[in-house]
Amino acid sequence: MNYDSSMQEMTYAGSARLTFIKKTYAHLAGAILAFVALETVLLRTITEQQIMSVFGGSSWSLLIVMLAFWGASYVATMLAQSDSAPAIQYLGLGLYVVAESLIFL
């Protein structure tokens, strides 16, 4: 048995796994920072009256907001999970961050 080659494979697998985890959490941190920044800008520029007029404008407004959020999250998920270019996947992530920041108002 050759233990040296199996140790190299385990080290490589661990290294690839570590790289994957670092990239994943870097993307998560970037998305969270973008969410916080966008939420801060929205909360400083939009007044309470404007927010309440969207949610309390009619009996259907909250349903429309929730359906718009559902649609945006569906499109964002399709873009992010596609096998297309990374720019399209980042577009999906960005769309989801924007949708989340709007729904958190």
Q: What is the pTM of this model?
A: 0.77
- Write out pLDDT tens, residues 17-30: 888 889 999 999 99
Which structural domain, as residue segments, surrounds residue 21? 3-103
Cα distances from 75 to residues 25, 38, 102, in angstroms, run 23, 20, 16
**pLDDT at position 3 over 80:** no
Name the one residue in this structure whose structure tokens are 């007044």: 47
* Number of structural domains the chain divides into: 1
CA 103 remoteness from chain centre: 13
Task: Give CA–CA dist 72/78, Å, rounded.
Answer: 10
Under the banding of pLDDT at 50, 70 and 90, the label for residue 85 is: very high
Q: What's the pLDDT tens digit per position in 32-79? A: 999 999 999 999 999 888 888 877 777 788 888 899 999 999 999 999
Residues with Cβ within 8 Å of residue 101, at least 6 apart in sequence = 35, 38, 39, 42
**Distance from C-alpha of 67 to C-alpha of 72, rounded to nearest angstrom:** 9
